[in-house]
Structure 1
Amino acid sequence: MPKSYLDISTTTMENIFDTNQLYPDYEEPIKDHFKGYFDSVYVSFSPFFTIANSDAFNSVSSAKLVSDEEYRLLPEAVELSPNENRAIYVRDPQYPDNTAIVSSAKPVKWQQIIDHTLISNFAEMSLALRTSIGALRREYERTDLRDILIDQTSDLSVYHPIEGRINVLSLMQMYECLKDLHKTTLVVTDEFFEDRKVIDIGLMSLTQFVTEVHGYMYYFTEDRTVLFTIEWDSFFFLICADHDLLAHIVARYRFEGFYCDANTTHDWYLDAKQKR
């Protein structure tokens, strides 16, 4: 049987929940990091989406590349200017807001995009998305995949997911999942582990929940049996739980992705020969 929270807290290992180690190091096998807490981890893709009954299609991505001219109009607090070795991206105000996504968005799976493009697999999709926001070193960028992706999604009026945060559509899945499992007391933590709070989602509507927790990066149930966690610049997040519970969550709430094996790391989308 899996260890309970009480079993874990009395061992000599550091407790990842209390020492703010809620995401593994990049080169560390993901399952190794969570060993002793969860026996199964699922890499879940942040979905693309369309906005129903909308006549306007604005920015395909929430991140906008800033030109030299646009840079000069940014607030003075921005200290780094664009140059040949550095691109600067900012949030695009034309991207749909949370209210529009909650009320009108329809999810589009990665596989649906792959099926209609020359993008071959999930790893290439991750590379295309990360390249689109300037999140890769030059040697890893795949501008060919980025251009294929942007052309296809623009033609179909499909919006890209945001990076580095569990997006609204995934939060909606999380809300339904945890309520159905009667795990309504949730701990949420920001990226710097400075803002940590306990909320009762049983007392919240879906819209209230999304408004309350959007922007946080780490979410776990009070009994520490389910963890949702993400990393900066990623278009995927991790769901951690006991295998049987996780299998139920993935199947019932239709998260798209794959289960980690013993060797899966954060950089699963990079060819092993390219890793530094």
Structure 2
Amino acid sequence: MDYIMLDTQSTILDQIPDNFSSAAILLHPFVEMPSGWTQSKKNQNPYKHIYPTDEEILNNAKPVLWKTVMDECGLASFAELELALLTSIGALNEDYARLDLADSLNLNLKEDLYFPDEDKTSVFLLNGLLEVMNFNEATLLHYSEPIFDTSGSLKLNDVKPIKICELSSAELMVTTNNMEYAFMSMYDAFNTLFLSKQKNIDEIVGKMNWEAIICDHQTYIDWFLQKSNGISYSKIRCISLNRNVPLILLNM
């Protein structure tokens, strides 16, 4: 299946292939490195931009929930945190940028705590995504990336998270040979779009302890912006990584 170029004019569910019945926007966790990691990198090269590699994240980092960062930075919703992140990386024009939210995030972000992965699926999510892909006797992963227009297939049982990281440095679509599930990273986004042939995608999200927006027929790819009617009915499911207890938040 080819990469899907989503637009902001139609809802997500209206743009995904017909064989998929449900979708969820998975929120990439923040990245917490061991105490003192940042300073040690600065000591090595004070002029180099510092961000952990995929291997360093897999081996040494801890995932931090959006809800935790919201509380620590005084942000009221996932939408505010998304706006803060996108403003911080210069992904929004002046009509939508929220410098106040970006300041709240950056001034309160602890040392050794880094923004989530952007453009590509967070390495913290890949083990769980590969586990889900193994459901229903799938044997192959098909992948497609739009930048160099490359595609291919891999034996599912042989694929490790780091292999997915190596397939593309940015946008990537991955699906199974039985087309039961798919996931897709997006440019200038701190989220991954997860698709399911089944309608119980919220149960999968809960089982995997992902923070996610469960898409309904009013969920757009720019979910963090208020629509013209001022109302969004998308449910945001915040799952603790320690307790399988969902918290439904409506104030996106």
Please list every run of at least 4 consecutive aligned residues from structure 1 whose deviation after the TM superposition is greater than 6 angstroms.
none
Equivalent residues of 1:201, 1:209 under 8 A apart: no
Distance 1:207 1:215 in 2: 14
Aligned match of 2:88: 132
Query: Is the alpha carbon distance of 1:223 and 1:205 closer, same or farther for their aligned partners in structure 2, counting shifts above 3 Å?
Result: same
How many residue pairs end up in the alignment?
224
**TM-score, normalised to structure 1's length?**
0.72
Equivalent residues of 1:175, 1:209 under 8 A apart: no
Q: Percent identity?
A: 26
Distance 1:41 1:257 in 2: 10
Query: Is the alpha carbon distance of 1:157 and 1:270 closer, same or farther for their aligned partners in structure 2, counting shifts above 3 Å?
Result: same
Equivalent residues of 1:27, 1:267 under 8 A apart: no
Aligned match of 1:159: 114
Q: Is 1:49 matched up with 2:31?
A: yes
Query: Is the alpha carbon distance of 1:176 and 1:121 closer, same or farther for their aligned partners in structure 2, counting shifts above 3 Å?
Result: same
Question: Match for 1:250 among 194, 205, 220?
Answer: 205
**Cα-to-partner distance string for 1:137-156 (whole Å, 9 max, x where unaligned):** 11111111111111222x25
Equivalent residues of 1:44, 1:239 under 8 A apart: yes
Query: Is the alpha carbon distance of 1:253 and 1:213 closer, same or farther for their aligned partners in structure 2, counting shifts above 3 Å?
Result: farther
Aligned match of 1:26: 8
Aligned match of 1:64: none
Equivalent residues of 2:171, 2:184 under 8 A apart: no
Equivalent residues of 2:22, 2:198 under 8 A apart: yes
Q: Which has the larger displacement, 263-272 or 203-212? A: 203-212
Distance 2:142 2:121 in 1: 15
State which structure, 1 or 2, has the greater radius of gyration over its C-alpha atoms.
1
Query: Is the alpha carbon distance of 1:119 and 1:192 closer, same or farther for their aligned partners in structure 2, counting shifts above 3 Å?
Result: same
**Cα-to-partner distance string for 1:140-192 (whole Å, 9 max, x where unaligned):** 11111111111222x25311012221122122322233246543411111133
**TM-score, normalised to structure 2's length?**
0.79
Query: Is the alpha carbon distance of 1:206 and 1:171 closer, same or farther for their aligned partners in structure 2, counting shifts above 3 Å?
Result: closer
Q: Structure 1: which 5+ runs fail to align?
A: 1-16, 59-69, 71-91
Residue identity opposite 1:256 in structure 2: E
Deviation at 1:274, TM superposition (A): 10
Aligned match of 2:21: 39
Which structure has more strand as a fraction of its residues? 2
Question: Match for 1:259 among 214, 221, 225?
Answer: 214
Query: Is the alpha carbon distance of 1:184 and 1:158 closer, same or farther for their aligned partners in structure 2, counting shifts above 3 Å?
Result: farther
Cα RMSD over matched residues? Answer: 2.6
Aligned match of 2:124: 169
**Cα-to-partner distance string for 1:51-76 (whole Å, 9 max, x where unaligned):** 23x42226xxxxxxxxxxx9xxxxxx
DSSP-derived class of the 1:270 partner = coil
Residue identity opposite 2:60 in structure 1: S
Q: Structure 2: which 5+ runs fail to align?
A: 40-46, 231-252
Distance 2:198 2:8 in 1: 23
DSSP-derived class of the 1:239 partner = strand
